[in-house]
Amino acid sequence: MKLFLRRFLLAVIFLCVASIAFDPVLKWSIRSVLQNLTGAKVDIGGVKTSLFHLSLDMRGFAMADPSEEMKNAVEFDELFFKIEASPLFSRKLIIDKAVMSGLSFYTDRKSSGRLAWQKRKTVPYALDFSDRLRYAVGAFPVASALKGNDLFSLPETDPDKLETVKLITGAEREYESAEEYLSSVKIKYASGGPLRWRLENEVLGQKNPVKKIKAAKEILGEAEKDRKKISAVIKKFENISSALRRARIKDTEAVRGAVSMPAFDSGAISGDIVGPVIFGGLGKLLNAVREISRFYPEKKSGFLVKRTGRGRTVEFPVEKPSTSAKPTFFIRNMILTGKKIGGTRIDFSGTAENISSQPYIYRKPARIGIKGGNGKTSVSVYASFDASENDFISDIAIKCDGLDMSGIRLGGDSFSILAERAAGAFSADITTSGNTVNAKIGLELSELKLNPEIKDLDGAMKEAVDDYIKGAENISANAVVTGTYEKPRAEIDSDLADGIIAAAKNAVRGSLEEKKDAAGAALEAALKPYEDKFALMKKRISSAETEVESFTGDLSSAGGVGAVKKNAWRKAP
């Protein structure tokens, strides 16, 4: 009897000590495991278990956002559940019903959520994936893209490609082929030249009328031939001159047209302005999905375990898994109630079901459904996670309206926009299968009061962009993401980027005209040597024509022409 009492007292003492020490140890264990998994600080107000009722009550839970140390990714006031007793003998933790209340997402912290030791091997995947998405759309710093001095660069003028130069080069070849003849004409009709000598001696100095008329006829005939030949050259150069005028207009338009308003990449600018918000949020969601997928084993052909009384373990494959088989850990149903998303109070409720450590045994996807709202605010969330087959498949649909997004900041360091007042609507449709990702994201901001903080712009450009942003009342942005976690492809657009581009273009139209004029002046300078060369060729041709005209004038004044005309019917002896 004494031995029995001694043992009974020892058992009571052990249970009392265990009940006192178990809760603090469990609290520490839960917090340590979650912090190691997420790399973020986890706070737990208290954990209370009941060994007699097999229940757990956790209060005051908050897990920091790994990428924003002053934000909580998730928090709740209380989590309560009871564990079924009989499965414990098979080393299975089965929870038929759990209740989580006071659930909130993305709320402010009073202290930093950064862990003091912070020894994770890799940065949170959300940050990495967000940066990859911004890289995928070619996000370009807005201020750099809009700098007025860099917008218009004068085109390099390559003379060989100008139509005007091509024509003048062709005219030069024409002139070279006629140059020898033109030089001979100048010599022929110059003082002391062959034809001038015949005029002076055979016409002007001839006393015999018959010989005089004969010589005049010959000289006039030769002069007329030269005149026609020179006229043909002149006509050809006149045609070239007409073509040059048209080519000059064409070259000028081409050079001035090359200095055009730049085609800003709306997607790249959107990626810099709204990309951090959209891709940052998407990155966090996909990070959570990826972390969830890592809880499941790689091998999906599950095994049921049968333990024999002698300690031997016999494993056999499940040929046709069904819902009658129970995994090692399973929550059949969890009731969710919440109160806050970001800075907005939203009363919502929903359920989470089929949460299992071995979904390939239970063969049903885990599901989460949340819905609620207050007045203009509303939230709807549906998520399904299916790991029963070879690939982990997720399907997520989120829609939030009327969120208070005051204080949100768009853009980066050099081009930042603070929303001092903003109401937001957010939607997301995301599916993943294994490593592939498909997502559509929408963001709308209304009732805006925006304060731009632009460092690298000045003058008319900054004033125009400032005025547009301050006057914006609504903003919408959409993004589409495909590809894989490692190599995503993304497209993004926003009316804010389109409006900024339009304002920037209006601000630089004056500079555009100045640059066009400068491009025209550069063309003038490039063409001047060629045009001077063409003018010299025309002058030399005209000089040859003048020599012939002067000669025939002298012949006419000597009476030779008149005599020829008067005696044209007569044949020279």
pLDDT digits (tens, 9 = 90+) for 14-60: 555 555 567 888 888 888 888 887 778 899 999 998 877 888 899 99
Residue 403: predicted pLDDT: 87
Q: How far apart, in whole angstroms, are the C-alpha atoms of residue 439 and residue 426?
A: 13
Q: How far apart, in whole angstroms, are the C-alpha atoms of residue 48 and residue 188?
A: 125
Residue pair 479/282 in contact by the 8 Å Cβ criterion:
yes
Name the nearest CA neighbour of 126 among 68, 73, 67.
Answer: 67
Q: Which strand (E) or helix (H) includes residue 531?
A: helix 509-557
Query: Stretch 518-542: mean pLDDT, rounded?
Result: 84
Whether 395 has a pLDDT exceeding 90, the answer reads yes
Query: Stretch 204-210: mean pLDDT, rounded?
Result: 75
Name the phi and psi angles at 336, rounded to 5.
-115, 135
Q: How far apart, in whole angstroms, are the C-alpha atoms of residue 181 and residue 233?
A: 11
529's tokens: 């040597």
Kindly calculate the radius of gyration of the chain based on its CA atoms and give it in whole angstroms: 46
Is the Cα dihedral 546, 551, 552, 553 positive or negative? positive
Residue 367: predicted pLDDT: 92
Residue pair 256/516 in contact by the 8 Å Cβ criterion:
yes
The single residue listed with the structure tokens 């599901």 is 367
Angle between helices 459-471 and 495-507 (to 10 degrees): 150
Residue 515: predicted pLDDT: 78
Whether 81 has a pLDDT exceeding 60, the answer reads yes
Whether 66 has a pLDDT exceeding 70, the answer reads yes
Q: How many helices, marked H, and strands, marked E, lie in the chain?
A: 14, 17
* Long-range CB contacts for residues 212-215, cutoff 8 Å, separation at least 24: 212/560, 212/563, 213/560, 213/563, 213/564, 213/567, 213/570, 213/572, 214/572, 214/573, 215/560
- Between CA 7 and CA 14, with CA 12 as vertex, the angle to 5 degrees is 95
Give 227-280 pLDDT, tens digit per residue. 888 888 888 888 888 888 888 888 888 887 777 776 677 888 888 888 888 888
Instruction: Tell me the DSSP string of 368-430.
Output: EEEEEEETTEEEEEEEEEE-SSSS-EEEEEEEEEEEE-TT-EEE-SSEEEEEEEEEEEEEEEE
Dihedral, 432, 437, 440, 444 alpha carbons, nearest 10: 100
Query: Stretch 497-506: mean pLDDT, rounded?
Result: 85
- Between CA 296 and CA 306, with CA 302 as vertex, the angle to 5 degrees is 120
Name the nearest CA neighbour of 294 among 429, 394, 367.
Answer: 394
Query: Stretch 539-558: mean pLDDT, rounded?
Result: 73
Residue 153: predicted pLDDT: 60
Strands (E), 37-193: 42-50, 55-65, 68-82, 93-95, 98-108
Query: Stretch 405-418: mean pLDDT, rounded?
Result: 85
Residue 316: predicted pLDDT: 43
Whether 121 has a pLDDT exceeding 50, the answer reads no
Residue pair 198/264 in contact by the 8 Å Cβ criterion:
no
Residue 52: predicted pLDDT: 76
Query: Stretch 141-156: mean pLDDT, rounded?
Result: 57
35 vs 320, which has greater pLDDT?
A: 35
117 vs 256, which has greater pLDDT?
A: 256
Residue 127: predicted pLDDT: 45
| Widest distance between CA atoms in the chain | 179
Residue 317: predicted pLDDT: 46
Residue 440: predicted pLDDT: 94
Q: How far apart, in whole angstroms, are the C-alpha atoms of residue 401 and residue 380?
A: 9
Cβ burial, residue 133 (10 Å; 0-12/13-18/19+): buried
Residue 68: predicted pLDDT: 81
Residue pair 492/478 in contact by the 8 Å Cβ criterion:
yes
Question: What are the C-alpha distances in Å from 275 to residues 56, 85, 264, 283?
Answer: 42, 50, 17, 11
Query: Stretch 215-230: mean pLDDT, rounded?
Result: 81
Residue pair 413/424 in contact by the 8 Å Cβ criterion:
no
393-404 vs 377-386, strand pairing mode: antiparallel
Instruction: Tell me the DSSP string of 467-506.
Output: HHHHH---EEEEEEEEEBSSSEEEEEEEHHHHHHHHHHHH
The single residue listed with the structure tokens 């600018």 is 269
Lowest mean pLDDT among 133-137, 199-203, 489-493, 541-545: 133-137
Residues 6+ positions from 199 with CB-CB distance below 8 Å:
219, 551, 554, 555, 558, 560
Whether 427 has a pLDDT exceeding 90, the answer reads yes
331's tokens: 């929550």
Q: How far apart, in whole angstroms, are the C-alpha atoms of residue 257 and residue 523?
A: 12
Give 282-307 pLDDT, tens digit per residue. 888 887 888 777 766 554 444 444 44
- What single letter denotes the amino acid at residue 454? I
106 vs 17, which has greater pLDDT?
A: 106
Task: Please provide the average confidence, as pLDDT, over all residues in the chain.
Answer: 78
Whether 321 has a pLDDT exceeding 60, the answer reads no
Dihedral, 287, 288, 291, 296 alpha carbons, nearest 10: -140
Q: What is the pTM for the complete model shown?
A: 0.66
Whether 569 has a pLDDT exceeding 50, the answer reads no
Q: Residue 568's pLDDT band (boundaries 50, 70, 90)?
A: very low
